[in-house]
Amino acid sequence: MLIIEDLKVTLGDKEILRHIDLEIFPGETHILFGPNGSGKTTLLMTIMGYPQYRVTGGKIYFKGVDITHMPINERARLGIGMSFQRPPTIHGLKTRQMVRICSRNGADAEAMAEKMKFSDFLDRDINAGFSGGEIKRSELLQLMAQNPDLMLFDEPESGVDLENISLIGNTISELLERDIHVHTSPNQPRNKALQERKKMGLIITHTGFILDYVTADKGQVLYEGMLSCKSNPQEIFRCIKRIGYEECVRCAT
Amino acid sequence: MRDLNEKAKQAKEKKAALGPDIDLTTFDAEPVGIPRLDSPSQLPEKDRERMLQAGVDASEEGRSGTYIQKDTAVVYSHSSQDGLLVLPIKQALEEHQWARDYYWKLVNVDADKYTAGAQLNLHDGYVIRALPGSRVFLPVQACLYLDRNNISQYVHNLIIAEEDSELHVITGCATSPHLKRGLHVGISEFFVKKNAKLSFTMIHHWAEEMMVRPRSVGVVEEGGLFLNNYICMKPVKSLQMFPVTRLTGRGAVSRFYSLLAGNPGTTLDVGGRIFLSAAETRAEIIARAISNGGTIVSRGDLVGEVPGIRAHLECRGLILRGGIIHAIPELQGKVDGVEMSHEAAVGKIAQEEILYLMSRGLSEDEATSTIVRGFMSVDIPGLPAPLKAEIDRAVEQSNKDMM
């Protein structure tokens, strides 16, 4: 379980997040909406533990552990993973090696890459010359290998062509154990599968495409550094599309 | 020979164009008598270990020939393949006219005091020659080893890939664990004949007070390929070399790769010049340098002399823990229609890359060494797997030492 209490975050001299409260229970996936510059990426990077995002108030707990000031790699070990929007290129480090790093040598890189239609990239330097869509597939491949309990997705569908959007969407759904109709067999009731679902997800989306593939429990709107609305994600998305963020968050206040 | 000696004597005091001057008289140059061995496995274990770190395997497994010299004397020389000659140069000069024809053909004996010293004090060296048409797929290994403290070693090597031959050489230069101070001067002359392929990989594994002055020149004829790899990741006091290659035949190709580490107290001045003097020739100089508190001057000079040549130079440096990296990339286009480029970058490890790896579960130290390892892992096309493995091992070993 992830619990964020009254979180304040500064980047440089600028306060980006103020008074963030958020709870994600095991098995839950939340969608994070918000206009550009509202602090969505900041929230994800803060949960992951990027040090330039300075926590000036509040607490973050994960699995009952106070991780507010925990180093990034210890959070990863505790079960937090992230799909980045613009990850850096590391020259000389092959994608294959990166998959091994993620899985602590435990994963079958070939099989996973095949699933992500990424086999041809295994022997290329990680992120070197990757297109927007290739970066997303690479990030999902790494998350698949890492298999964390809480997954943070920063705009997983941006830059992805229509041909690959379903691959991205369905993979996220699978990673977050949202694809229960696939797993459920006749002798295993649906509600049991739901109970066994433990993976937690927090997904930033602009386009809402991801909602066509991933069922989510809650939507959240981040507006001017605050989480202003908690509701059904489809409804929120429809509302934003119709009347815009400013009007949409008004209903919450 | 008499001419050579005369010229050498006149250049005895001639300072080199680059690198700090060395007082050669402070080192012993008297030959040391060391008995020949029937097999490299008779070498003491500590020597064998040091040699292995420089890519020379005393078991001779996976090698087509071996040459081992200790201080001033050859202790072992052997070829296990037809069409491949591995000989001590003194013996070759005595017995074979062809060896005399190649000797000092490319390097000028009076270039500086070091070339002069190599003529006047010649302590052997190797001749490795692949006869026309012979394909030597397994690498030939050569080790120039320094055992006695304060010794100077003057060697002269000839590497000849005759027409249509293929030859891979790995040379490991190393010092015994107890050696502190010494001098190594090595003359190397490379002949890559028509349509021949030569890869030459040199791994240096010196000691903290070692002075090293290699001098080498190569010539590549029509359709020939010359790969020249150099790895120096261990401490050395002062090492300066500036190998020159001339591409004289149509379509000749040469690539230089260097992997360098500047440890505290180390000054490396390493680079190379390639003349592209015939149509359709190609050249590439690639260097990766990391500094840990030492000084690295990384040079590269490409000279395009005919239209239609293509050449590229790339030097990247990472300053990890202080020190200096001085990249000097040079291009000389001397006619219309040359295509030449270079890129040089000196910097530090990007924090963003470290954090990215940490978000996948690596500690900060693990992330740093993963990035450095990636930085030093350069794909060298055309290099056989065992040589690649030796290079990886040399780099890996040093990464461990530094982290």
DSSP string, B291-353: ESSSEEEEEEEEEE-STT-EEEEEEEEEESSS-EEEEEEEEEE-STT-EEEEEEEEE---HHH
Residue B353 near residue A88, CB atoms below 8 Å: yes
| Complex ipTM more than 0.90, yes or no | yes
* Residue closest to B214 by CA, chosen among B149, B258, B161, B264: B258
Number of Cβ within 10 Å of residue B382's Cβ equals: 12
CB of B363 less than 8 A from some CB of A: yes
Summarised one tens digit per residue, pLDDT across range B309-334 is 999 999 999 999 899 999 999 999 99
Q: What is the nearest CA distance from A213 to chain B, expressed in angstroms?
A: 26
Higher model confidence: residue B141 or residue B397?
Answer: B141
Q: What is the nearest CA distance from B370 to chain A, expressed in angstroms?
A: 8
For chain A, positions 135-174, list CB contacts with chain B under 8 A.
142, 146
Give the pLDDT score at A251: 67
CB of A104 less than 8 A from some CB of B: yes
Flag whether pLDDT at B230 surpasses 90.
yes
Contact B360 A87 (CB under 8 A): no
Contact A88 B357 (CB under 8 A): no
Q: Which residues, other chains included, contact B322 with Cβ-Cβ below 8 Å and sequence gap of 6+?
A: B291, B292, B293
Share of chain A above pLDDT 90, in %: 68
Summarised one tens digit per residue, pLDDT across range B187-224 is 999 999 999 999 999 999 999 999 999 999 999 999 99
* Residue closest to A9 by CA, chosen among A66, A53, A59, A63: A53
Q: Which two tokens stand for residue B230?
A: 């150099």
- Length of chain A equals 253
Q: Which two tokens stand for residue B31?
A: 């030959």
Residue B48 near residue B40, CB atoms below 8 Å: yes
Describe the strand order of the beta sheet including B135-146 as a list of residue ranges.
Answer: B73-79, B65-70, B135-146, B166-175, B197-205, B225-232, B253-262, B282-291, B310-319, B339-347
Question: Hey, which residues does A83 pair with through a beta bridge?
Answer: A153
Residue B267 near residue B20, CB atoms below 8 Å: yes
Flag whether pLDDT at B399 surpasses 80.
no
* Residue closest to A57 by CA, chosen among A105, A21, A99: A21
* Residue closest to B170 by CA, chosen among B393, B374, B378: B393
Confidence of residue B382 (pLDDT cuts 50, 70, 90): confident
- Report how far Cα B26 is from the mean position of its chain's Cα atoms: 25
Please name the residue of chain B whose CA is at the shortest distance from the CA of residue A80: B359
Q: Which two tokens stand for residue A39?
A: 């602090």
Flag whether pLDDT at B402 surpasses 90.
no
Higher model confidence: residue B310 or residue A227?
Answer: B310
Summarised one tens digit per residue, pLDDT across range A18-62 is 999 999 999 999 999 988 889 999 999 999 999 999 999 999 999
Residue A168 near residue A137, CB atoms below 8 Å: yes
Q: Which residues, other chains included, contact B87 with Cβ-Cβ below 8 Å and sequence gap of 6+?
A: B77, B99, B126, B127, B129
Q: How many CB pairs under 8 A join A and B?
A: 63
| DSSP code of residue B103 | T
Give the pLDDT score at B380: 81
Contact B362 A48 (CB under 8 A): no
Paired sense of beta strands A53-62 and A65-66, if any: antiparallel
User: Which segments within B206-251 are labelled E, that is strand?
Assistant: 209-220, 225-232, 238-241, 244-247
Summarised one tens digit per residue, pLDDT across range B44-99 is 999 999 999 888 999 999 999 999 999 999 999 999 999 999 999 999 999 999 99
Give the pLDDT score at B73: 94
Distance (Å, rounded) from C-alpha B369 to C-alpha B399? 7
Number of Cβ within 10 Å of residue A6's Cβ equals: 11
Secondary structure class of B30 (helix, strand, coil) = coil
Contact B370 A71 (CB under 8 A): no
Of A51, A88, A146, the CB nearest to B360: A146
Give the pLDDT score at B387: 82
Secondary structure class of B2 (helix, strand, coil) = helix
Please give the torsion angle defined by the CA atoms of residues B378, B381, B384 and B386, in that order, rounded to the nearest 10 degrees: 10
Residue B200 near residue B167, CB atoms below 8 Å: no
Give the pLDDT score at A182: 52
Q: What is the mean pLDDT of residues A202-214?
A: 90
**Which long-range CB contacts under 8 A does A56-59 form with residues at least 24 apart?**
A56/A8, A56/A9, A56/A10, A56/A15, A57/A6, A57/A7, A57/A8, A58/A4, A58/A5, A58/A6, A58/A7, A58/A8, A58/A19, A58/A20, A59/A3, A59/A4, A59/A5, A59/A6, A59/A7
Paired sense of beta strands B225-232 and B181-192, if any: unpaired
Give the pLDDT score at A208: 85
Summarised one tens digit per residue, pLDDT across range B134-191 is 999 999 999 999 999 999 999 999 999 999 999 999 999 999 999 999 999 999 999 9
Give the pLDDT score at A185: 61
CB of B381 less than 8 A from some CB of A: no
Flag whether pLDDT at A158 surpasses 90.
no
What does the mean pLDDT of chain B come to? 94
Flag whether pLDDT at A238 surpasses 90.
no
Q: What angle do CA B294, B295, B299 make, to 5 degrees?
A: 145
Q: What is the nearest CA distance from A136 to chain B, expressed in angstroms?
A: 15
Question: Hey, which residues does B127 pair with through a beta bridge?
Answer: B87, B158
CB of B150 less than 8 A from some CB of A: no
Question: Is B366 exposed, middle or buried, given 0-12, 13-18 or 19+ CB atoms closer than 10 A?
Answer: middle
Give the pLDDT score at A181: 62
Of B361, B367, B370, the CB nearest to A104: B361
CB of A187 less than 8 A from some CB of B: no
Share of chain B above pLDDT 70, in %: 99
Higher model confidence: residue B119 or residue A193?
Answer: B119
Q: Which residues, other chains included, contact B52 with Cβ-Cβ below 8 Å and sequence gap of 6+?
A: B58
Q: What is the nearest CA distance from B382 to chain A, expressed in angstroms?
A: 17
User: What does residue B373 show for φ and ψ, rounded to 5 degrees?
Assistant: -60, -45
Contact A146 B361 (CB under 8 A): yes
Range A2-250 classified under CATH 3.40.50.300: yes
Flag whether pLDDT at A186 surpasses 70.
no
Of A73, A82, A88, the CB nearest to B353: A88
Q: What is the mean pLDDT of residues A147-167?
A: 92
Give the pLDDT score at A163: 83
Contact B361 A76 (CB under 8 A): yes
| DSSP-assigned letters across all residues of B170-195 | EEEEEE-TT--EEEEEEEEEEEE-TT
Give the pLDDT score at B384: 79
Give the pLDDT score at B401: 67
- Lowest-pLDDT range, A193-207, B82-96, B165-179, B248-262? A193-207
CB of B345 less than 8 A from some CB of A: no
Higher model confidence: residue A193 or residue B250?
Answer: B250
Residue B293 near residue B264, CB atoms below 8 Å: yes
CB of A78 less than 8 A from some CB of B: no
What does the mean pLDDT of chain A come to? 90
Among B360, B362, B395, the strongest candidate for a mutation testing the A interface, having the largest count of A CBs within 10 A, is B360
Distance (Å, rounded) from C-alpha B184 to C-alpha B152? 6
Give the pLDDT score at A44: 97
Distance (Å, rounded) from C-alpha A10 to C-alpha B119? 69
Q: Which two tokens stand for residue B302?
A: 């490409």
Contacts of A106 in chain B (CB under 8 A): none
Contact B361 A82 (CB under 8 A): no
Residue A41 near residue A158, CB atoms below 8 Å: no
* Residue closest to B192 by CA, chosen among B130, B258, B107: B130
Please name the residue of chain A whose CA is at the shortest distance from the CA of residue B378: A92
Confidence of residue A189 (pLDDT cuts 50, 70, 90): low
Confidence of residue B231 (pLDDT cuts 50, 70, 90): very high
Summarised one tens digit per residue, pLDDT across range B278-305 is 999 999 999 999 999 999 999 999 999 9
Secondary structure class of B197 (helix, strand, coil) = strand
